[in-house]
Structures are given as structure tokens and as C-alpha cells.
Chain A
Amino acid sequence: MAHSPCDIWTLPALVTGTGAPFVSFLCTMIFTRRRPRLSCGLSIGAVSISFAASLFLLVCHWGMEAPIHHVGRWLVSSDVNVPFGFLVDPLSLLMLAVVSAICLLVQIYSLGYMAEDPGFSRYYAFMSLFAWAMMSLAVSPNLLQLYIFWELVGLSSYLLIGFWYEKFSATQAGKKAFVMTRAGDVLFFMGVLLVLVHAGNLNIVEINGIRGAEGYSQTIAALSAILIFGGIVGKSAQFPLLTWLPDAMEGPTPVSALLHSATMVAAGVYLFARLFPFFSLSPAAMSLFLAIGTLSMLLASTMAMVSRDIKRVWAYSTISQLGFMIMGLAAGGYFAGVFHLTTHAAFKALLFLCSGVFIHHFGTNDIFKLGAEGSTRFKTPFLCLVTAAGALAGVPPLAGFFSKEAVMGALLEGSSPLWLVPALVGVFLTAYYAFRVIFVIGFPGRSAQTPTAQSRLFPSEEVHGIQAAHYRVMVGPLVVLAFVTLFLGFAQGSLESFLLGGEGRSQGHSGAVHGLVAALALSLAGAGAGMAWWEFGRKGATRKGLVERIPALYRLFSERWYLDHIYRFLMDRLVDRGISVLFLQNDNRVIDGTIDGLGKGTAEGGRLLALLQQAMIQYRLMAAFAVVALLTASLFF
């Protein structure tokens, strides 16, 4: 094969692309902490390099057939060989491009948002670390390397969520995110070990090449898939471990945008897609994943229906969209899940960045206050917000519509079309809460209940006024993302053929049924939006949601289905009263007992030995003579 420039430049592009943010992180931490301008320049420059490199790679390898490996030996232990390097295939290239693009836009946006923050340099250093970890994760050729960067992603999100560390709630939220994801990561690591023991290596391509017949029993495959899925549950905030994500809103808004679109939570879904052929070995595990995805999607949507905090609404929607992706993947729709991940990255980043403009200006997260203060004055951000919310709800020309239809199609073709029912309910709920936010912010003052009086008590604008220059910097990325959201959907066909290795899967299902489902989803989304309009948008609307009229339901939803309470209860019962008590006893009896025993033994031994000396002098003399006499006697006999 002739050496085209693409082949020669692939490895350098990979190395510089993924390495540049790390270099910028190191430089910022070591040299330029006191010079914010230099720090942000370094960081943005590095991520631009990454973006350019990933675009170059994407263009070069568009339509590639076989994955490319660039590995060096890193760890050899008897017959286990763990290489370290890069894996280039359509999925990792797509992810690389998405991550670097979102990182670049978010970092540019942060120039305005984080201006004059005392931790400006630190912020950019962590952003670089985050970008580096996520991009290296995307190109990891084996599970161990992936796991390392997986943890680094967790670390940097912890650092960024708790970025304003003077705020107690922020440090708590950072800790919660770290600990809860760690709970899943333990399972993930156990799964990795199980794979290592049974498959003999951790190479992703080889693991994906495993077939059921090759001495890899069904139960082991299912068990390791479920264990690895534990890590995905933690990272992507799925059902049992979902409460860390809403709390992660304590970080700066651009961090939330990054965290929710391309990096932290996307890592979980990315891992699912990465190991998709391996996961699909065990249908039982896939059904479990499907159920977990569905459950998370519905739970999070209901939570989003009642939240008044704009960032939290988007956080819940992230959980629910991630659940949607996992549903799509678990139903067998590899492309559908990845495509939704891509489009979601664009519109979710847009949602957060738009909200960030309002939050930055008005200093509040409450949607009713934001509406009353007149957020619509910011024309561009508000239009972008509407676009993104439309994409979230699945309004036709926008990106979200196409990817949602793809997921629906996957569900339709999957094991049981019954899963479509919760998905359709989810579509309805999503449209409802997305447009609820739009209508509350967009049509304020139509009812007497707007809390203007209250907001005048807290004139937070003085703290957070936006300067014109900052505003322009922040709006730029919004416009770019809005255009991506508008047009990304039309790239579906080419992306699909790229991801599926040029095959371009034929539309197997009947067009009529699919069209029906699409129409149903659209009408449900319309109904959701309409209901939101009826309750919040129209003239004389009560501005009280359906759920808020049923106090029990409202409490249930706003307390997040009491999940945190259940965790607290379990922690009290299991950890504080069960395990800790055992540990306490172990500490008291075994450890303290051993040390006390050692001390007491020495003292007792000393006392025993002292008996030889402390008796009267004549007894000792007697003993000495007795010994001599015995020795003498032994000479004779």
C-alpha cells in the first residue's frame, strides 16, 4: 500500500491531538498559574490543535474499513500483555471530533463566563486535563488504558464540580459525584478483571471479536457484561446511581455543559458502544440494560417536570437522554445510540451554554425568576435555547428529531417492540418539560404569580453584570452550536455508513410501521409541548404544572423519588450499623487485642523472669548449688 500523507500523519496527529491538552495542563499548573491570559491562551490553543487533528483524522479516514492500531508494549506479566497506544476506528474518530469540538467551544465560551474569576488559570488547567482524559479515553485500544482515563475523567470532573471550593455545597457535590461514580467503577474494574481472566487479554477489538462458541461461556459473558455495565451506570448516571448528576450543577455552567454533553457522562455510553459486540453476546444482560435505561429515562423525566432550577431541569434531561441512548444501544441499535450521543452532545451543550448566559447575568437558577427578570431581552441566547429545547423534544428539522427516530427504529426492531411504549411516554414528558422551561422564561408576566417582588429583594445583577465583550465571546459558540443542532440531523446517512463500516445497513423494517411510530412520537411531542403551552404559555395560564396540583406526586418527583433518602437509609443501616460495627469490633477485639496482648505478654513474661531474681539471695545460692550438684552427679552416671 502506498504511503499517502494520511498514513504518515496519522500517528503524529493522534499524539499531538490527544497530548496537547495534557501539555497545556502541566504548563498551566507549573508555570502560568499567576498569568490567567497566558493560561487560557495555552489551553484554547491546545484544544484547537486537538480539534484540528481530530478533523484531519476524520477526513483522512472517512470510509475506513479496518481499525488502525498504533500500540507500544507497556506492561507484560507472564502471558498477559497490556499495550498502550491508540485505536483508530470510526467510533473513536467520531468521539474524538465531538469531544474536541465541544471542548473548544466551551473553553471559548468560558472566556466570558469565567472572566475575573480568581481561579481562572486553575479552571483552564482542569479543563485541559478533562479534555485530555476524555480524548485519550476515546482512542484507548484496551480496557486497562480505557479504565485509567475513565478514572481521570472522574477525577477532573470532581475537580471541576467542586471548582468553587469555598462553597460547601460545591465540595459536597464534587465528593458525591466522585464517590457515587466510584461505586460503579469498582464493578467495572471487577468486570475488566473477569474479562482478563477468561479472555486472556484486554484488547477491545479482540474482546469484541469473541464469539459465544469460543470457550467463553454464556454466563461469564453475561456476568462480565453486567459488571462492566455497573461502571456505565455510575458514569452515565443511570438508575441506581443517578442522583449525583443533578448535584453536579454546583460547578460553573460551562463545566456542566462539558460534563453533560461530551465528556463525563458520555464516557459511559461511549464504553457501551465501544464494547457493543461483546455486550450483545448475552441477550439476558442486554434486556437488563434496556430495563435500566428505560427506568432511568422515565424517572429522570418525571423529576425534570417539577424542578424550578433551570440547570437541574437540563441535568435530569441528560439522565433521561442517556437512558434513551442506552435503550437504543441495548435494543441493538448501535448506530442509533451513537448518533443520539452525537446530537445530544451538540444540543445539550447548547442548552447549558444558553442557560449560562442568563444565569451569569441574573445570578439565579430559578426559571420563574429568570422569566420575570426578562431573559428574552437576550435575543440570540434565547433563540438558541429554543432551538436546543426543540432538538431535545425532537422537533423535526433539528438534530434531536433524527436521532430520536433512529432510537425508536432500533426499539421497533429490537427484541420486543413493547419497549416503545415507555419510550413514547418519555418523548411526551421530554417535550413537556423542555417547553415548560421555554414558556416559563419566554412568556413571563402573564400571570400575577411571577415573583418580581421577591427578585427585587435580591438585586443580583450588581454582582453579575455582563460586559459587552464577554457577552460577544459567549454568544459566538452558541451560534455555532445552534447551527450544528440545526443541520447535524441531515448527516445521518453518511454518518451511518461511516460508523457501520461502509455497509449502510438497509432499512429492514417496514416503512409504514416506522412512519407510524415517527408520527406517533411527533404527535406525542406536540402534545407535550401543547400541554406545556396550556399550563405555562397561554394568556391567563395558571403557571402551575399538572404535577404540582397533586401534592403527593409533586413531592415524590421533587424529592427525586426519595432516592437520596433511600441511600441515606441504606447507608445508615448497612454501613453505619452493619459494616462499621463489624469494623469497630475488629478494631477493638482483634487489632487492639493483639497489641494489648503483646504488651501484656511482655509485661507478664518480665514478671515471670523476675521471679528468678527477686527471691531471697540464699534461695538463689541454693539453686546454683543444686545445679552444680546435678551436673557433678551427671559426670558420674
Chain B
Amino acid sequence: MIVPFGHLLILAGILFVIGLFCALARRSLIMILLGVEIMLNAAAIAFVGGSLHWHDMEGQTIVLFIAAVAATEVSVGLAMIVHVFRKTGSFDPVLFDLLK
């Protein structure tokens, strides 16, 4: 492996923080979903790196699982967002206060 393992982890970390920031700071449901997606991918990069580093295929298996979960999550999440948009006419998460 040409790229050192440490660099990969740093990239994954940076991506995770970017995703976290996106999920926490943006006031839009789509951007929150996007942030979660980025975080998942950051985790996937870390798993791939680890798999190459220790020559163990289990890491790559988990990445496949993550990809599947992410796809599901996006489809369900988008469906919910569409539903919410039809109800409230907005993507603002502040409007979700029915539990109050």
C-alpha cells in the first residue's frame, strides 16, 4: 500500500468531522441526511484502510454492509423528508415539535 495508514485515518477523521458538522449545524433535513451519509463513508474509508493494513478481508465485508445500510437509510430518510415536506412545506427541523 503506497498511502500510509495514518494518512488514511486522518482523511477519514476529517471527513467524519465535516459530516458531523454538516449534520449538526445545517438547518435543513436534506443536509442532515447528507452529513450522516458523509460520516458513514468516513467510517467506510477507515475500515478499508484497516483491512489493507492488517490484510484482513473482514473490514471490506463491513464496508459492503455499510454501503447497504447507507443506501437503505437514504431511501427511507428521503421518503420521510418528502412526507414531512408535504406536511409542513419546509425542511426546517425546528418545526418537528409534535412531542412537546
Contact = CB atoms under 8 A, between A and B. Distances in A.
Nearest to B23: A621
- Top 9 nearest A-B pairs (CB, nearest first) are A614-B100, A617-B93, A622-B24, A618-B24, A614-B99, A613-B99, A616-B94, A616-B93, A617-B96
Contact of A625 (B20, B97, B99): B20
Contact of B24 (A610, A613, A625): A625
A247 B18 CA distance: 96
A269 to B, nearest CB: 77
A621 B96 CA distance: 14
Interface string B22-66: 011100000010000000000000000000000000000000000
Contacts of A613: 99
Interface in B59-98: 93-94, 96-97
B69 to A, nearest CB: 17
Interface of A: 610, 613-614, 616-618, 621-622, 625
Given A625-B20, A625-B24, A618 B32 contact: yes
Contacts of B32: 617-618, 621
B23 A618 contact: yes
Nearest to B100: A614
Given A618-B24, A621-B23, A622-B24, A610 B93 contact: no
A618 B60 CA distance: 31
A618 B24 CA distance: 5
Contacts of A622: 24
Contact of B97 (A614, A618, A621): A614
Interface of B: 20, 23-25, 32, 93-94, 96-97, 99-100
B58 to A, nearest CB: 21
A363 B25 CA distance: 100
A292 to B, nearest CB: 74
B41 to A, nearest CB: 17
Contacts of A616: 93-94, 96
Contacts of B96: 616-617
A610 B94 contact: no
A72 B27 CA distance: 89
A618 B94 CA distance: 9
Given A614-B97, A614-B99, A618-B93, 8 more contacts: A610-B99, A617-B32, A617-B93, A617-B96, A618-B23, A618-B24, A618-B25, A625-B20
Nearest to B96: A617
23 contacts: A610-B99, A610-B100, A613-B99, A614-B97, A614-B99, A614-B100, A616-B93, A616-B94, A616-B96, A617-B32, A617-B93, A617-B96, A618-B23, A618-B24, A618-B25, A618-B32, A618-B93, A621-B23, A621-B24, A621-B32, A622-B24, A625-B20, A625-B24
Contacts of A621: 23-24, 32
Nearest to A622: B24
B71 to A, nearest CB: 21
A553 B20 CA distance: 102
A633 to B, nearest CB: 14
A625 B19 CA distance: 12
Nearest to A611: B100
Nearest to B39: A625
Contacts of B97: 614
A613 B97 CA distance: 9
Contacts of B20: 625
Nearest to B97: A614
A154 B38 CA distance: 90
A618 B25 CA distance: 8
Contacts of B25: 618
Contacts of B94: 616
A96 B32 CA distance: 98
A616 B95 CA distance: 8
Contacts of A617: 32, 93, 96
Contacts of A625: 20, 24
B45 to A, nearest CB: 18
A618 B26 CA distance: 9
Contacts of B24: 618, 621-622, 625
A211 B71 CA distance: 101
B3 to A, nearest CB: 25
B89 to A, nearest CB: 18
A610 to B, nearest CB: 7
A73 B100 CA distance: 69
Nearest to B94: A616
A184 to B, nearest CB: 64
B99 to A, nearest CB: 5
A37 B32 CA distance: 96
A284 B20 CA distance: 94
B43 to A, nearest CB: 13
A625 B25 CA distance: 13
A610 B99 CA distance: 8
Nearest to B98: A614
Contacts of B93: 616-618
B72 to A, nearest CB: 19
A610 B100 CA distance: 7
A549 B32 CA distance: 107
Nearest to A614: B100
Nearest to B93: A617
A622 B25 CA distance: 10
A613 B23 CA distance: 18
A482 B59 CA distance: 120
A618 B23 CA distance: 7
Contacts of A618: 23-25, 32, 93
A614 B24 CA distance: 17
B12 to A, nearest CB: 14
A618 B22 CA distance: 10
A555 B20 CA distance: 99
B61 to A, nearest CB: 24
B91 to A, nearest CB: 12
